[in-house]
Structure 1
Amino acid sequence: MAGVRGDLGSAWHYDVGGVYSTTLYRQQQTGRIDPTKVANALQVVDVNGTPTCVSAVNGTDPNCVPLDIFSTTGPSESAVNYLSYAEGGGVFRERYEQWVGNANVTGDLGDYGLKSPFSTKGINVAVGGEYRKNTYRSRPDAAYQAAFGSTPTTLSNEAADLYGEINVPLVSDKPFIRDLSVGAAIRGSKYSGIAKAQSTYKIDGSWRPVEDILFRASCNKATRAPSIYELSSNANTSYGTLDTNTLGDPCAGTSPVASREICASTGVTDAQYGSIAQCPDFLCTVRNGSEGLVTPEVAHTYTYGLVLTPRMLRGFSATADYYSIEIQNGIGYYRAIDFLQTCANTGYEFFCSQLKRNADGTLFSNAGSATGYINQGYSNLGRTNARGFNFSANYDTRLGNWARFSTSYTSTLQTAKGGDLGLPDTDYNVVGLFGPYAGQGYRSYQHNFRFTLSSPESAQTQGLISVNWRHNSGLKNSRLAGNPIFGEDDPTVPDEYKYLPAYDVFDLSGSVTISRALTLRVVVNNVLNRAAPVRPSPPLEAAERVNTSPSVYDALGRSISVGATVDF
């Protein structure tokens, strides 16, 4: 990193800089076993008194060694060697490099008398440019290539931006117009590999009628090209299997879960329906690296809000903002289970086309195969949106000469989170839901409300005690929403697992400064030891490995930490 900044006279300032960074990644597989070989090793028949793999008898895998899972001594060494990938699966190396250079100039045109006749403040401008280059290299060794079908890849992309911004104070210090200003910005971007230049713009404004209140609004259009990571994830093809706890191929078995019509859209013939072999252990093959080019996404954002700072209530401030975000042609990571479940639920061609069946209709294969897998990776698909309100409030006051009291409140009220699948009649909203398409859940309301009592600054011994109330509203499983995209309710799952109740937790913290050299601290999270709500993994949400959401709930219950700071 290097840069230089300075002044060009009294009105203009410049800033020029550059950054180079590189990230190295090395992944070594150890003890990995091939699930296809496990399936072969468990299919055993008696040949003249000798346990023999069916695949060895019919010649599909002459090297197969039977796996005795009931032996108290464990599997034989030859069976373990057969099941294991060569060299444990090999080594995979990646390297990311980035070069960034930029130059910016800002100026206050008020120094030249350029300002609104109704304002005492000058017009401010900024112009600049930036260049970025990203490079990605992957180098799997021979063992990794043989095990997972990955191949060496080199990718790079470049971007060049030119941008400008202006802020114009229109009116200041007038009756009912303490301050009125507007701003605008524009950016033009050229991405390598994308023929058409992309544009971004922003328009915002604020009005303060009196000192106590400020109204603000903005709208902007933003364009995002796929990152080098997203491009590399698609270009760097590898093979694996679905996560555990999935339901396998919905078109397999003598009584398929999916209808004949839906299975036909995945390539199943009438003759194959009801006779396709299920994936080994329900773990169908997955091809990492979505097929097709990922193109830029475009977002439109609108915000409206106000800020309150009433002089009649010293120490109090509050904000309220509405936001609306809509992304067209959104770039998203689509798991194989997303394609599989949405295809089984709806039969939509785009999702069903991601299932690449073998000639016999099966969805499992060896690494590197041209068929027998489900795609997985980054792709453009439809429209996504998010709408809601953000609130905050703060209050700080003295309680005589013996203490200070302060409180802070932040919350989000979400009204929409969803979009469509790029097809007619596929709108969905996952607010208040968890499960398919909602993941760990999108809560309609959540807040943090903190109360703090502290000693005044003049006190010889400084101390404070603080209580925080965390609240998350309840959720229900998305399959109860009645939208076919999410799938139908499973009556075999108990109702108590289909709902997550509202979750309230109180945290307590305190500190005391005994002397200039010693401060003691204690923090107790989840004072009342509120248990995290439990939900099962599948069939409510495949590919989830936990029975709660540890990013939201305190999975470990109450936690206590004690610390001290000693200054010498």
Structure 2
Amino acid sequence: MKTQTVRGRLLASTMIGGAALMALSSAPAYAQDGPTQVEAIVVTGSRIARQDYIANSPVATVSEERIEATGTVNVEAILNTLPQVVPGFSANSNNPADGTATVDLRGLGPQRTLVLLNGHRMTPATKAFSSPDLNTIPASLIERVEVVTGGASAVYGSDALAGVVNFIMKDDFQGLEFQTQYGMSSRGDGETFTLNALMGANFDGGRGNLTAFAGYYDRDGVLSTERDWAAVATSANGSLTGLRGRFDNVALNPFTSQPTVAGCASSASSPNITFRNNGTTAFGFCNDPIAGDPDSIITDRYNFAPTNYLSTPAERLNLAFLGNYDITDNVGLRMEAFYTDSRNANQLAPTPLTAALIPFDNIFVTPSIAAVLAGRPNPTADAVYRRRMADVGARLQTHNNKTFDFTTGLDWDMGSGWNADATYTYGRSEFTDTTFNDISRSRFAAATEGLSDGAVAPTVGNPNGSCSAATLAIFPDCVPYNPFGDGARPQAALDFIRQNFTDNTIFERHTFNANLTGSVMTLPAGDVAVALGFERREDSFSFNPDAAHAAGDIFGFNQERAVTGYYAVTEWYGEALVPLFRDVPFGQYVGLELGVRYSDYTSIGPVRSYKFGGEWQFNDDLRLRGMYQRASRAPNLFELFQAGDQGFPPMTDPCSTVIVTNGNPNNGPGTALGDPAVRAFCTAQMGFDPVTAGYVQPNSQIESFFYGNPDLSEEVSDTYTAGLVWSPSFIDNLDITLDWYDISVEDYIAPLAGGATGTMQACFASLNAAGPECFNSNIGALVYRDATSELKVRTYNVNVSQLETDGVDLTVNYRAPMGWLAGDSGFFGDTLRMNLMVNFLGSYVLDGIDYKGTIGAYNLNIGLPDWKANLSLGYDFGPVEVNWTSMFVPSMADQGDIFEGAGSYPGVDSYTIHELQGRWAINDTVEIYGGIRNLFDQDPHLITNAPDGNTDPNLYDVLGRYFYIGGRLRY
């Protein structure tokens, strides 16, 4: 995705003079809904047109000016700075990641935030969340973004439990505009380039308008090795799956301990066997943790960080076509078409090959290795083997999302204040994932045969040996693979065991809706405005994995099985604004807002959502507002039909005699085995006493399998909001909003007991292998052991969890008069623009655990600070606009694994990042702009259980100081 030549030429042709750009910027970034009086408009959160922007539900607006001022061309990066948003997947997501960008209001999950494009649902992209990919939205075409925080299902239907994000696009443009931008970090990496063209024209005497947009974006990836703090994996102290290969000690057929390499601090010997040099000599595995400079540490663990991306590479093409035409004076036709081809990639460390079986008489077994194998109680048993397959190469995944959304509709002004509209929307997304450099299980087994299988040992004339005749009949290209040591292997052997595969996900959505708005009656306080409507939506989904992927014939990624599904929903809704009092002694206006929606799903049956609230305008200065909303979310197709996909979440096996916490082994009574009942349960499950055998969990990540549940019901939430809007008449240009919110989600859809870890803990808490915590009649044992005694977990989706969160949002907008500075010069502006947005988190409780003020919990992987703030200051210097933005996140508790029990967790310090940006309008045609993000080059904070790259790359900035310049030509 490197386009340096194209970048250079395009940039040079449009950015002459840009190198001399001084610090520049624009107006304040965010605006909470304020009291500006305009004609009747529709604000996100209601379908009834109002005379002002002050909705009864809190609405935050991100303006076009803010988007331009940040110099950010990724929509999610703009939204993630909002205090109401907990960052979701972004450009800095590598593992976990699927190439998409998402938005997550209040931390309830992307699937509980409804995303709209011009008021219409966007098409989902991937199966995990069934959420749209924000990469498909061209930032340069956005007029504004309206964010409603709080349930909105009565207006929009399912998914709006946390709120709604509505992207409103420019659809009535006249003229021609070109815009380009180039950016690079202060380290000389992370380059980005954009080129956009926007054109539009009226026709037929102004009765119609056509607007077209084309945009290109390219981003270079940045590896973890490019930042010192990310170059060494600290969260797991490296991986037990090392570079030289290892035989795992099996308690039922143990090895005799062998000496470790000289200088190993953790142990002088180990029953886990590794290999040195060219694989001829067996040693004990040195389990020293990786820290600091990995080259200075004598350890057999593997540092998996360097090959991972901190910032992922991407390339995308956005096309949009919007039109409207007045067929008559009362009837208008509108049309929108959006197409995106978005390509992203993520890269992981080479395949961690685990639980492979090597025959005792493998053709590459040397006398040293043979002696160790012969020392077991059963010397002819296969050896359990693991290795980091670095010689095959890093695992690379490419993601290609092709999305098409088409909308057409009619608007009818019926007269007497009544309006009707009807809209049809079709959306299709085709998401293709290709994985490179995985390892085939079947081919690896074929390439590591033993002499008794018929394989031929290496000789002078045949230095690589030969596969057996039976294997060659199945795999004619078979080449033996030497599993011992870190020496070079023949390229043909590497190519034989390499597994590349491609998966495909397709979503299709058909939506038809019709709406009718107007006034049904007039009360003494004003008109009763209503909105009535109907919607029919049909969703279909299919996930088609590669045959090897579906069969589990892979080592380095998880087995995933084919899934198809379909459901339809028919909905009716009604809204009303009822004026109760106007111009009475206790206030200028008091009114109610009501709404109800009935939804009938083919998957779960009927669902009802409703809202009740109102407003109390005391005077021109002060207004109170409040709302109660019952919202709902129907289970998505993947939650219903997931077919037992494989995963490897980190968890601690209660049957392990050694638990490593922050690199330090914890032995004996401190483990769960100190409880005799747990020890007895482990013995019955494993077939031997783990204490006597000295059983040690071989991997911090436990193989688990995840299932859907077609018997799921809908999630429901109760959202309460109450607030005030204050515009004091004695302070000009000051607007303050203060809103309290309380959201409670019941029947929260999640894997049993909160996930594989919770399922395992619930089973061990019950200590009843036949009980519902440990066994499901449709799936089988939920917690069990494989042939090597390694823990395995199955879990499935249920409606048992509950999530509650509450807090307060504060927004302050102020335009401070600066005439005393401006004087008569005409150069300095007359106002200083200030915008402050703060969220104070009261609580975030999932399944009885309050995560407020924490980061790094295994089952969340999000940061939930006590409060979060964003401050923007703007000022004009003649044709130059400058803006300073600061984001503040306070200190948090680094929980690591919250399930480890009581005790304090290490703290993560507060974090402040600053941004300076601006623009210079040279004339009416030419504008140049530029800025610096992370002005003081603040490093991110490292956390114990890092979601990615030793930190949270979506909450903290990972690239450091970043420069960008750009320009715009208007005709």
Q: Give your verdict on TM over 0.5.
A: yes
- Which AA in structure 1 matches 2:805? A
Deviations 1:176-219 (A, max 9, x none): 31010011111111111324x21111001100111100001110
> How far 1:294 sits from its partner (Å)?
2.7
- Percent identity of the aligned residues? 20
Which amino acid in the other structure matches residue 508 of structure 1? L
| 2:569 aligned to which of 138, 149, 159 | 159
Cα deviation, 1:352-375, whole Å, max 9, x if unaligned, reads: 5574424758457xxxxxxxx433
Matched residue type, 1:533:
H
Contact kept, 8 Å, 2:651 with 2:757, in 1: the verdict is no
Cα displacement (A) at 1:28: 3.2
Alignment partner of 2:580 out of 162, 165, 170: 170
Q: What are the residue-to-residue correspondences of 1:284-295 with 2, within 5 Å?
A: 284-290=702-708, 293-295=711-713
> Whole-Å Cα distance in 1 between the matches of residues 727 and 856 of structure 2?
41
Q: How does 1:494-505 map to 2 (within 5 A)?
A: 498-505=906-913
Unmatched 5+ stretches in structure 2: 1-406, 459-463, 469-477, 554-558, 659-666, 776-780, 823-827
Q: CA offsets per residue over residues 135-171 of structure 1, 9 Å max, x none?
A: 1123335334333565544311111111111110111
Contact map agreement 1:262 1:347 (CA 8 A) in 2: no
Single out whichever of 255-264 and 383-392 deviates more from structure 2.
Answer: 255-264
Q: 1:38/1:292 Cα in 2 relative to 1: closer, same or farther (>3 Å)?
A: farther
Distance 1:143 1:23, change over 3 A: same
The DSSP-based 3-state class of the residue aligned with 1:22 is strand
Q: Is the partner of 2:550 in helix, strand or coil?
A: helix
Pair 531,46 (structure 1): closer, same or farther in 2 beyond 3 Å: farther
Partner of 1:486: 899
For 1:153 and 1:164, locate their aligned partners in 2 and report how far apart those are by CA, in whole Å. 36
| 2-structure distance, mates of 1:201, 1:440 | 30
Q: Which residue of 2 aligns with 1:99?
A: 510
The answer to whether 1:190 aligns with 2:597 is no
**Contact preservation (8 Å) 2:481, 2:489:** no
Pick aligned residue for 1:219 from 628, 636, 641:
628
Provide the C-alpha distance between the structure 2 equivalents of 1:532 and 1:261, rounded to a whole number of angstroms: 44
Say yes or no: does 1:307 pair with 2:725.
yes
Q: Secondary structure of 1:535's partner?
A: coil
In the TM superposition, residue 415 of structure 1 has moved relative to its aligned partner by 0.9
Residues 110-189 of structure 1: pairs in structure 2 closer than 5 A? 114-117=521-524, 119=525, 121-147=526-552, 150-189=560-599
After TM superposition, give the deviation of residue 513 of structure 1 in Å: 2.0
1:477 offset after TM fit, Å? 2.3
Q: Contact 1:29–1:91 (CA<8 Å) still a contact in 2?
A: yes
**Partners of 1:505 and 1:527 within 8 A in 2:** yes
1:269 to 685, 708, 714: 685
Match of 2:964 in 1: 561
Per-residue CA deviation, residues 228-276 of structure 1 (Å, 9 max, x unaligned), is 24335x14x443x516xx4664435788954364577789537434159
Q: d(CA) in 1 for partners of 2:867 and 2:948?
A: 26
- For residue 800 of structure 2, the aligned residue among 371, 381, 388 is 381
Give structure 1 stretches of 5+ with no counterpart.
57-62, 365-372, 421-426, 456-460
1:88-127: CA deviation from partner (whole Å, max 9, x where unpaired): 3x43222211111111111212xxxx3333x1x1111111
1:396 has 2:815 as partner: yes
Alignment of 1:517-532 (within 5 A): 517-532=925-940
Task: Give the structure 2 partner of residue 446 of structure 1.
Answer: 868
Displacement after TM superposition at 1:320 (Å): 0.1
Task: State how far apart, in whole Å, the 1-side matches of 2:796 and 2:911 are.
Answer: 34
TM-score (norm 1): 0.79
Could you report, residue by residue, the CA deviation over 1:329-377 in whole angstroms, capped at 9, with x for unpaired residues?
112368865436755996697775574424758457xxxxxxxx43366
User: Over aligned residue pairs, what C-alpha RMSD do you find?
Assistant: 3.9
Find the aligned partners of 2:842 and 2:536 in 1 and give their Cα distance: 38
- Over 3 Å counting, the alpha-carbon distance change for 1:192 and 1:407 in structure 2 is same
Distance 1:194 1:350 in 2: 24
- Counterparts of 2:931 and 2:509 in 1: how far apart (Å)? 41
Measure the CA separation in 2 of the matches of 1:49 and 1:253. Answer: 41
Measured after TM superposition, the shift of residue 515 of structure 1 is 2.4
Aligned-partner SS, 1:440? coil
Instruction: Look up the match of 2:735.
Output: 317
C-alpha separation between the residues in 1 aligned to 2:602 and 2:892?
43
Structure 1 178/469 Cα, relative in aligned 2: closer, same or farther at 3 Å? same
Structure 1 residue 7 and structure 2 residue 425: aligned? no
Q: Which residue of 1 aligns with 2:215?
A: none
2:637, 2:817 → 1: CA distance?
A: 53
CA distance, structure 2, for counterparts of residue 35 and residue 318 of structure 1: 62
Q: In the superposition, relative to structure 1, how do residues 76 and 278 fare at CA in structure 2: closer, same or farther (>3 Å)?
A: farther
Cα–Cα, structure 1 residues 267 and 380, in superposed 2: closer, same or farther, change >3 Å? farther
Alignment partner of 2:485 out of 70, 91, 96: 70
Partners in 1 of 2:446 and 2:703 — Cα distance?
15
Bigger shift: 200-209 or 142-151?
A: 142-151
Q: What's the offset of the Cα at 1:562?
A: 1.9
Superposed, 1:42-57 pairs within 5 Å as none
| TM-score normalised to structure 2 length | 0.48
Secondary structure, aligned partner of 2:539: strand
Once the two structures are overlaid, the 10-residue window that deviates more, 41-50 or 523-532, is 41-50
Preserved contact between residue 527 and residue 579 of structure 2 (Cα < 8 Å) = yes
Contact 1:278 1:362 (8 Å CA) reproduced? no
User: In structure 2, what residue type is equivalent to 1:431?
Assistant: K
Q: How many Å apart are 1:284 and its aligned residue?
A: 3.6
**2:882 corresponds to which residue?**
465
Whose relative contact order is higher, 1 or 2, with alpha carbons under 8 Å and at least 6 apart?
2
The answer for the alignment partner of 1:506 in structure 2 is: 914
Over 3 Å counting, the alpha-carbon distance change for 1:344 and 1:524 in structure 2 is: farther
**Structure 1: distance between partners of 2:868 and 2:448:** 50
Number of the residue aligned with 2:263: none
Distance between the aligned counterparts of 1:376 and 1:40, measured in 2?
Answer: 32
Change in 2 beyond 3 A, CA 1:345/1:558? farther
